[in-house]
Amino acid sequence: MQLATAKPKPTPPAYRRFLRDYGWAYLFILAPVLLFLVFTLYPVISAFIMSFQKYNIMKSKWIGFDNYTYMFQDDIFWKSIKNTVIFTLATVPINIIITFILAFFIFQMKSRWQTFFKATLYLPSVASGVTISLVWLAMFDPTSSGLLNTFLGWFGIDPVIWLGQSKTALFSLILMSYLGSHGSGIILYLAAMGGIPKSLYEAADIDHASGWTQFTKITWPLLKPTTLYLLVTGVITSFQVFISVYMMTQGGPNFATTTIAYLIYESAFVFYDFGLASAQSFVLAAFIIIVSVVQFKFFSSDVEY
């Protein structure tokens, strides 16, 4: 083969070429990476160190595992774990069922009505946690003229001191979660339902599969990724439930609604014990990371069938 007689052009030095080829890309991610280093990585490391210290702005003292031992011996800590777990177990599965039923029903509607119900059921999600808490605080009015008590009155039930007694306080927060907005979950389910090929149901019809069989063999399995997604995000959010507690009960009465996130807030910004709060926050982080990793396992085995 005839080789070309080309002017040899001196190759630029390696670092120049590297900068020319990749410089822009690095520039494009520079801001997020710097922000990540300063506002995520540094704080995580710092929190880890703090959790072994009696923290003081001027001079912190190393106290080894004292924060952790104190935490694990603290009844209120265990109570907050219990409250958080109860809240999560009571809300997440039932909310998913509610979401699914609503989405399934909307799916049966004509497209105009679908939009109407989607919009209506989604609307409250644009209101802030503070707003929603304020409204529910008013609705939970313990006197007989409070909205919920008036409603109970129609059935001859005595007024309930919703948030004011340990018996019902946590339940009240759970009830509020049931009756809140399920809008985004509904929309995700609807998108997934719309993505199931019609031909699957037609084939099932030909095989005379019953409606229930079609549901268990086609609909439910194909919606599993969405369900799993809602399960995981639901668990993570409810592990961190905070604003409603802060606004409505301040963790009371008698710690009946103290969740782990509220406890961390209290340790840090009521008692200014940053070390203890950091230790507590790592327990929450452990919970969430475990859930996320389990999710990841589930998902990746699900996606690559």
Partner 1 sequence: MQQKSKVVLVGVATFVLLIWALITIIPLYWMIIGSFQDSAASASFNPRFIPDSWSIAPYERFFNKTNAFRWLFNSLFVSGVLTVTNVFLASLAGYAFAKLKFPGNKSVFWILLSTMMIPSQVTLIPLYVLIINIFSLGDTYTAIILPSLVTVGNIFLMKQYMSSLPTSLIHAARIDACSEFGIFYKIILPIAKPGLAVLAIFTFVAQWNEFFWPLLVTRSSSMRTIQVGLASFKFAESTDYGAIMAGATVGALPMIILFFALQKYFLQGITVGAVKG
Partner 2 sequence: MARVVFNNVRKEFVDEKKGTFTAVENSEFVIEDKEFVVFVGPSGCGKTTSLRMIAGLERQTSGDIIIGDRIVNDLHPKDRDIAMVFQDYALYPHMTIRENLSFGLKNLKKSKAEIEQQVKQASSILGLDELLERKPRELSGGQRQRVAVGRAIVRNPQVFLFDEPLSNLDAKLRIQMRVELAELHKRLGATIVYVTHDQVEAMTLGERIVVMSNGIIQQIAPPTELYNKPNNMFVAGFIGSPAMNFMDATIENGKAFVEGAQIALPQAVADGLKSYEGKKIIVGIRPEHLYGEEFAHTVSKEHTMDVTVQVIENLGADNLLYFKVGSRMVTARVHPETIARLGERKRLVIDISKLHFFDPETTQRIALS
Please name the helix (run of DSSP H) or strand (run of DSSP E) that holds residue 62, with its range, or none. Answer: strand 61-62
The entry of partner 2, partner 1, none that residue 28 binds, CB within 5 to 8 Å by partner kind: partner 1
304 binds partner 1, rule: CB under 8 A: no
Cis status, amide bond into 225, omega within 30 of 0: no
The entry of partner 2, partner 1, none that residue 200 binds, CB within 5 to 8 Å by partner kind: none
Tell me the per-residue interface mask from 79 to 108 with partner 1, x by CB under 8 A, - otherwise: ----------------------xx-xxx-x
Radius of gyration of the chain (CA): 27
Residues 8-67 that bind partner 1 (CB under 8 A): 21-22, 24-26, 28-29, 31-33, 35-36, 38-44, 46-47, 50, 57
Conformation bin of residue 247: beta by default, left when phi > 0, alpha when psi is -120 to 50: alpha
Binding site for partner 2 (CB under 8 A): 1-9, 11-12, 17, 20-21
Query: Smallest distance from the beta carbon of 234 to partner 1, in angstroms?
Result: 13
The entry of partner 1, partner 2, none that residue 247 binds, CB within 5 to 8 Å by partner kind: partner 1
Of 295, 302, 62, 104, the C-alpha closest to 190 is 104
The entry of partner 1, partner 2, none that residue 44 binds, CB within 5 to 8 Å by partner kind: partner 1
170 binds partner 1, rule: CB under 8 A: no
Q: What are the start-end ranges of the H helices in 140-254?
A: 147-154, 166-178, 183-194, 198-206, 211-214, 220-222, 224-239, 243-244
Give the nearer residue to partner 1 in terms of CB position, either 1 or 303.
303
Give the nearer residue to partner 1 in terms of CB position, either 2 or 169.
169
**Residue 54, beta-bridge partner list:** 61
Residues 119-138 that bind partner 1 (CB under 8 A): 119-124, 126-132, 134-138
CA distance 96 to 98: 5
3-state secondary structure of 61: strand
